Structure 1
Amino acid sequence: MGTLAGHLVPGSVLALLGLWHIINTVRAYYLKGPNQFRSSFWHPFRSPFPRLAHLELFLIVSFAIFSIVMQVLDYPLFSFAFKLNNYEHATMFLHLAIYAGFTLVTEMIHKSDIWFEVSGILATSVFSQELFLLHYHSADHAGLEGYYHWLMQLIVFASLLSALSTTIFPSSFPSSLVLSISVVFQGLWFINMGFLLWVPEFVPKGCTIRLGHGGDSDMHGAVVCGTHEADMRARSLANLQFSWILAGILIIVACICLFYPKKVTPRVQSIEYERLNSRVAEIPLSVAGFKQVNYQ
């Protein structure tokens, strides 16, 4: 993953997956209402073809397996050299494949409701192992690159907590929404790191990319800042990028929540309408009974 493509591809996948979950989570909450809402770790693909309903899980499993193969083959070198950082990345995708594979099987045998908590535990393990391997990475993420990875750990930690909360409280809309937001945040931060750390034109002022040619413990490349002031400026820019990306995601979520209801009829309103009609229908009966008693 020590290339622009190594950050851009998984980052784009995570961002699109998280956006897909945000839209479907808001839709489910709006249609079912706060009393009947139930979280889901995946969402069916609506199309005229029933076989495409599990498309999301198929794509996740395929992407995870493809990523494992690319890491083991040490893309773009395509060799079987044992490199610890590559196998650490492959292990992250391994847990993703386990989660998606188990969830897909439970859906195919129609036992997803029974094993919902197990799917939640496996989804939580994806983020827990990602956080563990990022924190104890064999590669020396030092300097500015280490700071970007430390901010990444904050996002993964939020995903871990929200996934655990969603598993324990499946009817919690905030937990489900925060989980989706954190996945989008992970993806966009991956993309941001790819450009800021691996494209010379985007490297902060006063810093340069240094390519390494050492052993397995060395990075493929690292950003080195010439002075302490340049390093502090680069870290401050990273903080701003962190806040700006999060702000952009929240604006998108707010717009989805505000403008999405115009396209669908909420279930909550229909339920209240039915209750109101039933109450109105009961009024003549009670009045008639009251008149009958007085008449007698």
Structure 2
Amino acid sequence: MGWFLPSHMDQGLIFGLLGIWHMYNTLQHFITTPKEFRARTWFLAKGLPTVLRSMELWVLMFIVVVFVCKQLSHAGQDIATGIILAEHLQRFQHVTFAAFFLIYVVVGLVTEHFPTILPLPQGTVHATFALGFLMELVVFHLGHHPGTDLESFVHMLMQLILVCLVTFMFLEILWPRSILIAVARCMVLLMKGTWFFQIGLLINVPYHIPLGCSIGENDDYPLCATKQAEMRAKSLQVLIFGWQAVAIVLGTFISYACMLHYSHYISSKPTILIPGVTTPRFKDQQVYFVVPEVGDKEDHDSGESDGGDLDADGIPINTDSSTTMSRRLSSRNHVLSPDIV
């Protein structure tokens, strides 16, 4: 695309950030509510207004629209002559699989904000998103780079990523509660971004061109002078491909461990139970409130106990439960424990 970075590098950044966003939300959902976990293709941005909570879809729509407009910049010339030039064929192929992503975004927004207009079976949005990557795979395999040079080789590795991505997305439809499949799909999506970025480095940064290869003025990809240099260049790409995969797998385990320990740290704060207290949100459930550790200076010395006797924890004895809850919240500034949020 080459919007704000050289060609392929901006696509790598977009898919890489999308993979990280999906990985974080998937792990967070599983850690906080493992019994309610279900795979998703997009995630709400918490803390924003209702319309903007689907920010991921709006951003993706903007990216796809700009991509389509850029690819069709020469469409007027082709339509006027009635002939699609050979160098413009790939642009129309790109628009074809981008159309699937645009349909996915529109359907996702409609089902989110107007669910009664377009009620869909479970997994429909998931399948639509997967079809976009499937069409991209078809375009790469049949419409791009049929040769055996370095350009075809790096795109062949991209096809392997797309095969895994499409497979995992359709498996998510069959087993939507499987955390392993959901995490694997996020890892492959992140791998798609890192490999796109590597292709961008290969064709735009002279330092990353393998020895024995060079890019001419009219060439888009490096050409190798000898067969041996080409074999060496391909071996380097396989090595980089493997390093990226190892880094993503290791980073996933580290991220999960950090998020899990942080969640345990938050939930390990001391709590007490105030029996008999119910609210509309937590009706018929036990409600916990975080209390300060013993020894902290409280309101005991300020005389704000309303004249009642206090127990060892500073809770008024023989008072109405609703009054107790109100006094505790106002005097101690307690917050709900993460265990029940």
What's the counterpart of residue 197 of structure 1? 203
Contact 2:6/2:204 (8 A) holds in 1: no
What's the counterpart of residue 135 of structure 1? 141
Pairwise CA RMSD: 2.6
Contact 1:207/1:226 (8 A) holds in 2: yes
Measured after TM superposition, the shift of residue 264 of structure 1 is 2.6
Give the fraction of aligned pairs with identical amino acids, expressed as a percent.
25
- The structure 1 segments of at least 4 consecutive aligned residues displaced by more than 4 Å after TM superposition are 1-4, 78-82, 111-114, 138-142
What's the counterpart of residue 15 of structure 2? 14
| Residues 1:87 and 2:88 are matched in the alignment | no
SS in 1 for 2:223: strand
* Partner deviation per Cα, 1:94-140 (whole Å, 9 max, x = no partner): 11111121111101113698443111110110111011000012555
Q: TM-score w.r.t. structure 2 length?
A: 0.70
Letter in 1 for 2:233: A
* Partner deviation per Cα, 1:181-223 (whole Å, 9 max, x = no partner): 11111011001001112333321000011344xxxxxxx5232
Letter in 2 for 1:124: A
Q: In 2, distance between residues paired with 1:160 and 1:31?
A: 27
> What residue ranges of structure 1 are gaps of 5+ in the alignment?
213-219, 270-296
Work out which of the residue numbers 106, 114, 119 in structure 2 matches 1:109: 114
Contact 2:145/2:151 (8 A) holds in 1: no
Contact 2:22/2:42 (8 A) holds in 1: yes
Q: Aligned runs of 1:138-217 on 2, under 5 Å?
A: 138=144, 142-212=148-218
Q: In 2, distance between residues paired with 1:191 and 1:97?
A: 23
Q: Aligned runs of 1:274-285 on 2, under 5 Å?
A: none
Bigger Cα displacement from structure 2, 98-107 vs 110-119: 110-119
> What residue ranges of structure 2 are gaps of 5+ in the alignment?
79-83, 269-341
| Residues 1:50 and 2:50 are matched in the alignment | yes
SS in 1 for 2:53: helix
* Partner deviation per Cα, 1:5-58 (whole Å, 9 max, x = no partner): 23011111100001000000001111112x431111111001243332100011
Q: Which one has a larger percent helix, Structure 1 or Structure 2?
A: 1
Q: In 2, distance between residues paired with 1:121 and 1:9?
A: 26
Tell me: higher relative CO, structure 1 or 2? Use CA pairs within 8 A at least 6 residues apart.
1
What's the counterpart of residue 273 of structure 1? none
Measured after TM superposition, the shift of residue 70 of structure 1 is 0.8
Measured after TM superposition, the shift of residue 80 of structure 1 is 4.3
Contact 1:106/1:115 (8 A) holds in 2: no
Q: In 1, distance between residues paired with 2:54 and 2:2?
A: 32
Q: In 2, distance between residues paired with 1:263 and 1:116?
A: 33
Letter in 2 for 1:97: L
Contact 2:145/2:155 (8 A) holds in 1: no
**Highest CA radius of gyration, 1 or 2?**
2
Q: In 2, distance between residues paired with 1:140 and 1:169?
A: 35
Q: Aligned runs of 1:228-267 on 2, under 5 Å?
A: 228-264=227-263
Contact 2:145/2:152 (8 A) holds in 1: no
